[in-house]
C-alpha cells in the first residue's frame, strides 16, 4: 500500500490557509494535511520549526504564514521582517534538512510598479515599502537555503475568510452611502480559492519544476474597478467615486502597476486561469 503524501500548512488561520482547509476536505485520500496556526507553530523560532518538522514525515510544506499589514509594517518593520524573512529562512532550512518541498507564497509588492507591461519572474524586484521588502527578503532566504521550492507570487488576494479588500467593501457598502476608491493603482484581484487549487495541483501531480512563479486570475483592474464589481455582483447600491492615490495618502506607498505575467505557470502546470470577475462572482456566493 502506497504511503500517503503528508502536507504541512503553516499560517492556517489566515485567509489562504482557511481556504485550503475548506478545499482539501473532498480531496483524494492519498494526501494527508496538517494545518498549523501561529499558536501551533511559531515559524520565527528555528528550534520549534525544526522540532515540528522532525516529528512527522512531511513531503510538502505550504507556507501561508505572513505579516500582511502593508501600512502597519512601515512602523512595525522588525515584526514584519521577523515573520516574512526570518520565518521563511527557518522553514527553508528545516525543509532542506528533512527533504521537504516548500511552497512559499509571496507578493506582487516585491515590484515598484514602474513597468507598463506584466511583470515576469525574471524582472528585478524593487519593493517600495517594508512589507514588499520583507517578502522579497523571504524569497531570497528560500532560494539561498534550499533547492526544492516553489515561490508563488500572487496579487490582491481575497476570499470569504479573514481580512481583505473584498470583505471590507461588502461591509462599507452596507454601512455607507458614498465611498471613494483609488483608480490609479492597477493589478489583478486573485481568488484564494483559485490559488489554493494551483497549490493542490502542484502537490497532487508531484510537479518538480522548482522555482519562482507568478499566479493571479486573468484580467486587469484598478481598485476602483474591483470595488465596482463587488458592489454590482452583490447588488449593493452605493455612490462609488474614483480618486487618485495622492488624494488618499497611506503610510506605505503602493505600486501603481503590478500585473503579473502568468505564462510560465500556465505552461508548466497546463493551467487555464479564470478571469477575476468570474472568480469574484463565485466567491460572492459564499457571502449570501
Catalytic residue status for 131: yes
Sign of CA dihedral 85, 91, 94, 97: negative
First to last CA, the chain: 43
Q: Which helix (H) or strand (E) holds 152?
A: strand 149-154
Q: How far apart are CA 270 and CA 5, in angstroms?
A: 22
Check 131, 149, 213, 257 and give the catalytic one. Answer: 131
Task: Report how far residue 152's alpha carbon sits from residue 216's, in angstroms, rounded to the nearest whole number.
Answer: 10
CA distance 115 to 137: 21
Report the 10 Å Cβ neighbour count for 50: 16
Q: How many residues in the chain?
A: 288
Strand 178-182 vs strand 239-243: parallel, antiparallel, or unpaired? parallel
Q: Which residues contact 168 (CB under 8 A, 6 or more apart)?
A: none
Cell (9 digits) for 221: 483592474
Do residues 17 and 35 make contact, with C-beta atoms less than 8 angstroms apart? yes
- Number of other residues whose CB lies within 10 A of the CB of residue 43: 26
For the four alpha carbons of 224, 227, 157 and 117, in that order, the dihedral sign comes to negative
Catalytic residues: 131
Amino acid at each position: 500500500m502506497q504511503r500517503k503524501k503528508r502536507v504541512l500548512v503553516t499560517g492556517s488561520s489566515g485567509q489562504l490557509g482557511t481556504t485550503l482547509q475548506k478545499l482539501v476536505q473532498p480531496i483524494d485520500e492519498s494526501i494527508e494535511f496538517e494545518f498549523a496556526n501561529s499558536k501551533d507553530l511559531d515559524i520565527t523560532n528555528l528550534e520549534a520549526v525544526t522540532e515540528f518538522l522532525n516529528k512527522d514525515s512531511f513531503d510538502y510544506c505550504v507556507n501561508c504564514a505572513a505579516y500582511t499589514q502593508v501600512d502597519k509594517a512601515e512602523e512595525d518593520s522588525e515584526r514584519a521582517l521577523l515573520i516574512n524573512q526570518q520565518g521563511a529562512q527557518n522553514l527553508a532550512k528545516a525543509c532542506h534538512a528533512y527533504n521537504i518541498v516548500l511552497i512559499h507564497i509571496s507578493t506582487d509588492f516585491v515590484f515598484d510598479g514602474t513597468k507598463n507591461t506584466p511583470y515576469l519572474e525574471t524582472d528585478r524586484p524593487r519593493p517600495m515599502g517594508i512589507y514588499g521588502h520583507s517578502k522579497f527578503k523571504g524569497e531570497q532566504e528560500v532560494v539561498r537555503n534550499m533547492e526544492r521550492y516553489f515561490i508563488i507570487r500572487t496579487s490582491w488576494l481575497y476570499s470569504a475568510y479573514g481580512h481583505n479588500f473584498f470583505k471590507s467593501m461588502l461591509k462599507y457598502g452596507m454601512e455607507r452611502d458614498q465611498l471613494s476608491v483609488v483608480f490609479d493603482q492597477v493589478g489583478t484581484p486573485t481568488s484564494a480559492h483559485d490559488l489554493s487549487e494551483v497549490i493542490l495541483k502542484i502537490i497532487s501531480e508531484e510537479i518538480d519544476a522548482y522555482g519562482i512563479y507568478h499566479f493571479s486570475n486573468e484580467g486587469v483592474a484598478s481598485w476602483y474597478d474591483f470595488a465596482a464589481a463587488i458592489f454590482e455582483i452583490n447588488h449593493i447600491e452605493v455612490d462609488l467615486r474614483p480618486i487618485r492615490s495622492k488624494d488618499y495618502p497611506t503610510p506605505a506607498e503602493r505600486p501603481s502597476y503590478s500585473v503579473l505575467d502568468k505564462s510560465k505557470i500556465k505552461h508548466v502546470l497546463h493551467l487555464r486561469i479564470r478571469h477575476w470577475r468570474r472568480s469574484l462572482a463565485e466567491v460572492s456566493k459564499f457571502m449570501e
